[in-house]
């Protein structure tokens, strides 16, 4: 199939378009999860600093 031939990749594509899209979605999912995990840490830091501020301002 001419449309499968890309620059240096072989022409055997074993995933359908759907499956390839699924793969992309999963990778994005992983990225989101990672961002989410880092975000929870930021929130934790925020909470701790607010708490400390409250203690100091008393």
Nearer to another protein, 47 or 53 (CB): 47
Contacts of 20 (CB under 8 A, 6+ apart): 13
26 binds another protein (CB under 8 A): yes
6 binds another protein (CB under 8 A): yes
Binding site for another protein (CB under 8 A): 4, 6, 9-10, 12-15, 19-20, 22-24, 26-27, 29-31, 33-34, 37-38, 41
């Amino acid at each position: 199939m001419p449309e499968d031939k890309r620059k240096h990749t072989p022409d055997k594509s074993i995933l359908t378009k759907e499956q390839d899209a699924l793969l992309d979605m999963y990778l994005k999912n992983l990225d989101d999860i990672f961002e989410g995990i880092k975000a929870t840490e930021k929130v934790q830091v925020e909470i701790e600093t607010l708490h400390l501020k409250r203690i100091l301002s008393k």
